[in-house]
């Protein structure tokens, strides 16, 4: 095992950024991904979109990659969990600068859970109001989303919109509460089922009523390499790409504190009541089972006595870490 030098420049989080994240439910880090890393993810997604890489085995929705006319019938397209099948996807998910910020916000112990590739071509895309913890549950509740922009994202081509402060809301449960592990729902009066969560039609998506309590939603305008960190209770949405010639690509990943029990896994089933062993410990340590990076992307772990265990293999290219903005 080779180790990564401890002298690398770490991405810091200012006190005011930490406070604003917990106040508003999101944090933008401008230019967090260096150009080399951003370009690698862009090229990888281009190769998939143009059919040079075939990932049909990951998601049936991508069977149209070799028959582009099928794309006209899709609202948008996504591939789930590519980090389990592709080295580039794993490197993007486990980029050291992203993990530095996560360590400050939800750490020091961090586990990587989910990755998704989003392709929103012209005329496609959009998702109604929702909370990510509605879909991915952790106990204690420590889930956080990371939205890596790979194209300029604005109001015209389907950027994310957020309701600042709405992360203070509890998670609104599904109509059928079977298997919904959030203890909140058992002890909070006034919760109602999140009927039609993620539906674009606000007249049927009941979470639109909750979002409206927080005033006007804010568009999250990003440049390639900018990264949005957002609380898993934060109400957020996107709209259709209204442009004629601009794609909106994003790489979206989810993480939690590694001390959380995770009764969730995408795809394959798991044994027992938790799936922690299916996910990657990327910072610190944990008393729970955990997995390791399949492709050897470096992670910084601690031994039981707190000593640094070093990192595996070779780090991603270094670059400017960017500045934070709310």
**326 in Cβ contact with 25 (< 8 Å):** no
Q: What is the pLDDT of residue 179?
A: 59
Q: What is the pLDDT of residue 76?
A: 60
User: Phi and psi of 26, rounded to 5°?
Assistant: -155, 160
Question: If we measure between CA atoms, which residue out of 91, 85, 180, 99 comes closest to residue 144?
Answer: 99
* Residue 144 vs residues 12, 77, 209, 258: alpha-carbon distances, Å: 18, 22, 23, 12
Question: If we measure between CA atoms, which residue out of 183, 100, 172, 99 comes closest to residue 129?
Answer: 172
Max Cα-Cα span within the chain: 57
Q: How many CA atoms lie within 13 A of 105 on its CB side?
A: 34
**80 in Cβ contact with 267 (< 8 Å):** yes
Which fold, 15-165+217-325? Answer: Jelly Rolls (2.60.120)
Report domain extents, the chain.
15-165+217-325
Question: If we measure between CA atoms, which residue out of 161, 215, 157 comes closest to residue 26?
Answer: 161
Measured CA to CA, the distance from residue 230 to residue 218 in angstroms comes to 13
User: Phi and psi of 140, rounded to 5°?
Assistant: -60, 160
Q: How much is the pTM?
A: 0.88
- Full pLDDT tens readout for the chain, 326 residues: 233 445 688 999 999 999 999 999 999 999 999 999 999 999 999 988 887 776 655 544 344 344 444 444 445 688 899 999 999 999 999 999 999 999 999 999 999 999 999 999 999 889 999 999 999 999 999 999 999 999 999 999 999 999 999 999 999 988 766 556 655 566 788 889 998 999 999 999 999 999 999 999 999 999 999 999 999 999 999 999 999 999 999 999 999 999 999 999 998 788 888 999 999 999 999 999 999 999 999 999 986 544 444 443 323 333 333 444 54
């Amino acid at each position: 095992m080779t180790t990564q030098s401890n002298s690398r420049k770490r991405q810091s989080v200012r006190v005011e950024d930490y406070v604003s994240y917990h106040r508003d439910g999101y944090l933008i880090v401008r230019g967090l991904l260096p150009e080399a890393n951003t370009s690698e993810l862009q090229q990888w997604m281009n190769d998939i979109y143009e059919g040079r890489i075939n990932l049909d085995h990951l998601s049936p929705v991508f069977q149209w990659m070799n028959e582009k006319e099928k794309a006209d019938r899709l609202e948008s397209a996504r591939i789930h969990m590519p980090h389990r099948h592709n080295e580039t996807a794993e490197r993007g998910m486990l980029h050291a600068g992203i993990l530095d910020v996560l360590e400050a916000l939800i750490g020091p112990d961090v586990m990587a859970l989910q990755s998704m590739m989003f392709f929103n071509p012209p005329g496609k895309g959009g998702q109604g109001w929702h909370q990510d913890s509605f879909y991915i549950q952790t106990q204690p509740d420590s889930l956080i989303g990371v939205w890596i922009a790979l194209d300029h994202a604005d109001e015209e081509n389907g950027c994310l919109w957020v309701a600042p402060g709405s992360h203070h809301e509890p998670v609104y449960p599904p109509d059928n509460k079977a298997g919904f592990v959030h203890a909140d729902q058992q002890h909070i009066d006034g919760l109602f089922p999140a009927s039609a969560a993620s539906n674009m039609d606000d007249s049927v998506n009941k979470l639109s009523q909750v979002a409206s309590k927080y005033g006007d939603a804010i568009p999250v305008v990003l440049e390639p390499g900018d990264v949005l960190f957002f609380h898993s209770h934060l109400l957020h949405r996107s709209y259709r790409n209204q442009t004629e010639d601009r794609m909106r690509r994003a790489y979206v990943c989810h993480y939690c504190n590694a001390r959380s029990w995770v009764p969730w896994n995408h795809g394959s089933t798991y044994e027992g009541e938790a799936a922690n062993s299916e996910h990657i410990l990327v910072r610190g340590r944990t008393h729970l089972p955990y997995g390791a990076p399949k492709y050897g992307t470096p992670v910084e772990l601690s031994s039981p006595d707190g000593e640094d265990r070093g990192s595996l293999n070779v780090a991603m290219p270094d670059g400017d870490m960017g500045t934070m903005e709310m």
